């Protein structure tokens, strides 16, 4: 069976003020009643008023589901799908960051399938297609609008589960950089570093290929150039626009290049210690780079050069990884000012064999270019928290 590269069906509208064209998109697609999904943080901004205002002006009825929380759980998704059906909606509109888009993508799936969203963990082939999702990202981070993955939390077990929604991806994505203006520096930094992690992990996974590598390299370069500008000046529209497009392309790379051990660790420590996803990925990055040093030294060298490292050509793979890791830490801590992991006051008693086993069984772990053992995972976890 042929495996095609760079497949992307999502129609992307990327321009300043694009959000005001939502009514036109709905009419073009034949949707009559959108189901707006967002969280209370977005509800307090002018973004929702802007969107509902343009819908009302176009005489388009809508329903609101504003219960989304960080690390969306399965109950939120299942309840949202039930409410969607009660309201007789015909499409889902996600307005927000990665958590909102993940929840909305899950709701979209369950509007066309029976059971519960967690029923599809590892059973994605039984998922009926859903083509009724519009995403409006308000952060430049997860790229969920172009990716085929969602991450849903099981509250009962305290675990995060990645679910592949390849046949239920976003139909339309609206990339409006004006919606990200004024995003606080810490959120800007964490979401931007998530973009870098998506690109680097897709670049170094066992699924990487020449078609995706070139895009991943440009994404990393864009983050290094534009993220500091966006962090230091939240009103810099040029930087915001470049980061928003880079984030979406990073999500696109998850479709084929995918991610590996860095994200698998991030899912676990994020759920256990309530660390935002982008920050979790960033804290895991140096340990991940050192673990895969021997498999992809030239790609790590290229990444190091983007980060400003000078190599003399005599370095071993381990030395390349060390220099690149230190340059990344400098960028993370001193250039975009992500707060240190110590501020989360993590209870290291939770760093356990059980946590390592959960990471080991994550299907994305198998895409790591150097095989990962339980001992490797425990070592990386303690390195993340203890240095």
pLDDT tens-digit map of 280-298: 999 999 999 999 999 999 9
**Would you place residue 227 in the very low, low, confident or very high pLDDT band (cuts 50, 70, 90)?**
very high
Band the pLDDT of 9: cuts 50, 70, 90: confident
Write out pLDDT tens, residues 288-337: 999 999 999 999 999 999 999 999 999 999 999 999 999 999 999 999 99
Task: Place 2 in a pLDDT band, splitting at 50, 70 and 90.
Answer: confident
pTM strictly above 0.75: yes
In this prediction, residues 67-77 reach a mean pLDDT of 93
- Residue 352 in 3-state DSSP? coil
The structure tokens 């950089």 sit at 177
If DSSP codes are grouped into helix, strand and coil, which group holds residue 239? helix
Average pLDDT over residues 30-46: 96
Burial per residue of 78-104, b for 16 or more beta-carbon CB atoms within 10 angstroms, e otherwise:
bebbebbeeeebbbbbbbbbbbbbbbb
Does 1 have pLDDT greater than 80?
A: no
Band of the pLDDT at 8, cuts 50, 70, 90? confident
HSE on the CB side for 269, CA within 13 Å? 33
C-alpha–C-alpha distance, residues 203 and 287, integer Å: 17
Mean local confidence (pLDDT), 198-221 = 97
* pLDDT, average across residues 20-49: 96
Question: Which SS3 state, helix, strand or coil, does residue 254 take?
Answer: helix
**pLDDT confidence bin for 161, thresholds 50/70/90:** confident
What is the Cα–Cα distance from 122 to 164, expressed in whole angstroms? 8
CA 383 to chain centre: 23
Q: What is the C-alpha to C-alpha distance for residues 207 and 149, in angstroms, rounded to an integer?
A: 15
Question: What is the pLDDT at residue 286?
Answer: 98
Q: Tell the residue number behind the tokens 């006051």, with chain if given.
A: 345
Q: What is the dihedral of CA 258, 387, 347, 77, to 10 degrees?
A: -10
Residue with tokens 């973004």: 47
Q: Cα–Cα distance between 10 and 30 in angstroms, integer? A: 16
Of 108, 96, 90, 132, the C-alpha closest to 19 is 96
Smallest CA-to-CA distance from 191 within 241, 245, 142 is with 142
| Residue 84 structure tokens | 């969607």
């Amino acid at each position: 069976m042929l495996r095609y590269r760079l497949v992307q069906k999502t129609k992307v509208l990327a321009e300043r003020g694009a959000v005001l064209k939502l009514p036109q998109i709905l009419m073009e697609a034949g949707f009559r009643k959108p189901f707006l999904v967002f969280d209370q943080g977005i509800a307090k901004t002018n973004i929702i008023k802007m969107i509902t205002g343009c819908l009302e002006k176009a005489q388009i009825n809508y329903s609101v589901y504003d219960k989304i929380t960080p690390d969306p759980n399965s109950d939120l998704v299942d309840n949202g799908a039930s409410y969607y059906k009660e309201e007789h909606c015909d499409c889902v509109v996600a307005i927000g960051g990665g958590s909102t888009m993940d929840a909305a993508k899950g709701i979209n799936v369950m509007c066309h399938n029976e059971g519960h969203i967690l029923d599809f963990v590892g059973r994605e082939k039984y998922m009926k297609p859903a083509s009724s999702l519009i995403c409006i990202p308000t952060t430049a981070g997860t790229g969920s609008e172009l990716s085929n993955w969602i991450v849903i939390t099981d509250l009962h077990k305290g675990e995060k589960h990645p679910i592949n929604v390849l046949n239920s991806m976003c139909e339309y994505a609206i990339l409006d950089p004006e919606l990200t203006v004024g995003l606080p520096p810490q959120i800007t930094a964490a979401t931007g570093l998530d973009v870098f992690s998506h690109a680097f992990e897709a670049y170094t996974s066992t699924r990487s290929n020449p078609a995706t590598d070139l895009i991943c390299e440009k994404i990393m370069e864009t983050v290094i150039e534009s993220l500091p500008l966006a962090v230091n000046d939240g009103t810099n529209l040029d930087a915001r626009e470049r980061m928003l497009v880079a984030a979406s392309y990073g999500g696109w790379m998850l479709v084929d290049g995918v991610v590996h051990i860095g994200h698998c660790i991030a899912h676990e420590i994020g759920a256990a210690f309530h660390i935002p996803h982008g920050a979790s990925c960033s804290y895991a990055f140096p340990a991940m780079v050192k673990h895969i040093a021997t498999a992809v030294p030239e790609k790590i060298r290229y990444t190091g050069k983007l980060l400003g490292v000078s190599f003399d050509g005599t370095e071993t793979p381990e030395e390349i990884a060390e220099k690149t890791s230190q340059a990344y830490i400098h960028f993370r801590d001193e250039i975009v000012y992500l707060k240190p992991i110590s501020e989360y006051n993590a209870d290291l008693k939770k760093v356990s064999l059980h946590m390592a086993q959960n990471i080991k069984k994550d299907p994305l772990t198998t895409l790591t270019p150097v095989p990962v053992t339980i001992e490797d995972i425990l070592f990386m976890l303690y390195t993340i928290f203890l240095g």
